[in-house]
Amino acid sequence: MITVACLAGLSLLLISSSLARGEGANERNENLKPIYLPENRVFAAYVLRVQSNAELVSLERGEAVYSALLNRYGIDPKYRKEAIAGLAQLHGSDLPSEWIAALKKIDREPVILDWNHVEKEPTDEQTDAVIADFGHLLAQMPAEQLAAQRANIHALARESKRPLVRSLGYAALVSAGAGASEIWELARSERRSDAVRAIPWIENSQIQSELYTKSRPLSDEAASDQLRAAFFYALPSVPGHDEEIFATLRPGIENEQLRDVAVTALLGRDASKWPATELAQLCKELVGILKAMPLEARASSRGRRLVELATRTAKRLPDESRSAHLARISQLKVAQRFLGTLREQMAFDKEFLVVGAGQPIELYFTNNDGMPHNVVIGATGSLEELGRAADQMATSPEALSKGYLPESDKVLHHTRMLDMGQMQKLVFTAPDTPGVYPMLCTFPSHAMRMYAAFVVTDDVDGWLASQQNASRDKLLGIVTYDHDFDALAAELAKGPPQSSFARGRAAFESRSCVSCHSVRGKGGRVGPELTELAKENKPTDILRSLLFPSEKIDPNFAKVELEDLESGQIHLGVLIPQENENILYLVDDPLGNCEPKIFNRDECVVVPLKVSPMPEELLRRSSPQEVMDLVGYLWAGGDPEHPIYQGPEK
């Protein structure tokens, strides 16, 4: 039996030959990747379904790929246009025939989401977005070919399950030669809303106006919300009738069931033609609605449209009231900020984020790294305290279940711990007090390197204009050092390092070394044991490995990319040596106390990476003396009785 896991692996292995046996494929495009698909249609559809949107559009074209492009959510509409033309050529048919066939398929089957999409099943809104792309293609269908398909288009308009597909059927009938009266009669009373929703897809402005006039009674407040919503949906496309349409949409703002479609319709109209006497009251109502909305709702697409409508309305107010209204709206607007991670660098992709004091914030955090990461926003001055608390969690049996989040009142906001490829949206209100707040990852031993500044200010634009050379360290008041290897090596060349055992041990334990390496039996074992490091290394060799960890990597402790051949999944991490060489233990992050993933060696492909598990610049917050103390500690193998500790600074 072929399992889903086998098929997922198959999808990665089969992008190598020709497209669907090459039947009817377009002329070879050197920029497209060839793909071999199983003859079984179900398996072939699965192989295409597990391709991301970016992968799908990069594949060499043929019937199977064209079909996949037609019902994939989130791709550029130009690919649907290309697919319809390609299928018409392959089948020896015409554009309307393929257009109708594609809509019939979407009407009976769900559209396909990107394999990496958070949701598992498409929403009605996502399906309608795909259908809407076909509406934009309608204008490119030859009228004579549409006329030849009137029977099929008629069936599309009357028999389809999805309202928007039926509406496209009515719009296509107009393109095929039908008039407004014919469409209105065909729709009859129970489907009049479908005919009204067809207005945006109709190119003939006269027929648009005629259908608008016929459907005016549907806007009456006595009509059902469903009919009124269909009428509102069409209004952005109706030419003229500006004040009349504004008066029709205005009451919809007060109706929670109609508010969203009324706001969307108003945004589609020319605000300069709205009656000036209505604007102040409309702006006041919109601000009141926004104030009453929960923060999560205000951060949604519906909330953003309300903010946009309020802003457009306020901009048309007289000078004496415009600024005050815009300021109030700005305070209610949810500002979006984005934060990611740098692959294999244990770092955020931004050194700082700047927001307004008391500003509602929608923070999108995406982990692109192979290690697990979170983002924690702490109180001002709490970076060191939260970092130490996070490191202390490494030995706690409850750390994993708590997501490595320290129990501290200094934690203001936080995401969960995210694995590679995951994203979380965090919605909150920024502190009212301006200042610089630390952002850090609290996975054990990450905070020493993985941090950024969350800047809260009364004037975002002014701050950005005045802080051209801002850095996270300057903002957070952190002292860092650019270590000069030659200068430190020259000191070591004078003789064995004279240093403090206590400071050296503290440096070894506080700079995350102990998480991976052991000295005298104490520490981790995902890196080389360091007790007898001095037997084969000079002090300068130890110094160089600390400052440039990726220059020379022990192959037994290298970071690896492991592909599980059964599932096709790729894992990044460090292998923990085992007595049984046929069993592989992989940890995502050697600096944390996380459960290893276990694999059979003969079921994996392991590729060593040229990046050390030890992060670069791990000692950037250590002074030159602290670096020398650490070199001395490692040279002495952690032995407090070593000769280098017999001097005055024991």
The predicted-structure confidence for 167-222, as pLDDT tens digits, reads as follows 999 999 999 999 999 999 888 866 888 888 899 999 899 999 999 898 888 777 77
Average pLDDT over residues 47-74: 90
Strand-pairing partners, residue 583, are 600
Lowest mean pLDDT across 14-28, 193-207, 550-564, 572-586: 14-28
Q: Are residues 277 and 405 in the same domain?
A: no
Q: Are residues 566 and 610 in the same domain?
A: yes
Chosen domain end from 425, 447, 476: 476
Q: Are residues 491 and 538 in the same domain?
A: yes
Residue 167: both structure tokens together: 């509406």
Neighbouring residues of 639: CB distance < 8 A, sequence distance ≥ 6: 520
pLDDT tier for residue 580 given thresholds of 50, 70 and 90? confident
Q: What is the pLDDT of residue 23?
A: 38
Q: Are residues 275 and 397 in the same domain?
A: no
Q: How many CB atoms lie within 10 A of CB 226?
A: 13
Report the alpha-carbon distance of residue 59 to residue 36 in Å, rounded.
10
Where is pLDDT greater, at 648 or 318?
318
| Nearest alpha carbon to residue 559 among 543, 571, 546, 544 | 571
Q: Are residues 496 and 627 in the same domain?
A: yes
Matching residue, tokens 């052991």: 518
Write the DSSP assignment of 300-331 as a string of letters.
SHHHHHHHHHHHHHHTTS-HHHHHHHHHHHHH
Q: Evaluate if residue 314 carries a pLDDT over 90.
A: yes
* CA dist 53 → 56, 131, 144 (Å): 5, 17, 34
Q: What is the mean pLDDT of the chain?
A: 83
String of b and e for 341-355 (b: at least 16 CB within 10 Å)? bebbebbbeebbbbb
- In a domain? residue 45: no
Chosen domain end from 271, 304, 333: 333
Number of domains in the chain: 3
Matching residue, tokens 């990107």: 114
- In a domain? residue 131: no
Report the alpha-carbon distance of residue 397 to residue 378 in Å, rounded.
24
* 519, 521, 525, 527: CA torsion to nearest 10: 20
Report the alpha-carbon distance of residue 157 to residue 168 in Å, rounded.
7
Q: What is the pLDDT of residue 454?
A: 97
Q: What is the pLDDT of residue 7?
A: 36
* Domain span holding position 547: 485-645
Write out 182-216 in H/E/C secondary structure.
HHHHHHCHHHHHHHHHCHHHCCCHHHHHHHHHHHH
| Pairing of β 376-378 and β 411-414 | antiparallel
Residue 371: both structure tokens together: 């290690």
- The helix (H) or strand (E) run that includes residue 341 is strand 341-342
Q: Are residues 506 and 614 in the same domain?
A: yes
Q: Are residues 326 and 363 in the same domain?
A: no
Is the Cα dihedral 103, 108, 113, 119 positive or negative?
A: positive
Chosen domain end from 418, 443, 476: 476
For the chain, the distance separating the N- and C-terminal CA atoms, rounded to the nearest angstrom, is 69
Amino acid symbol at 209: S
pLDDT tens-place string over residues 546-566: 788 777 776 666 678 888 887
Spatial strand order in the sheet of 352-356:
352-356, 451-457, 435-440, 376-378, 411-414
Cα angle 436, 439, 444; round to 5: 140
Q: Evaluate if residue 316 carries a pLDDT over 90.
A: yes
Q: Are residues 379 and 462 in the same domain?
A: yes
* CA dist 418 → 130, 201, 224, 415 (Å): 30, 43, 46, 8
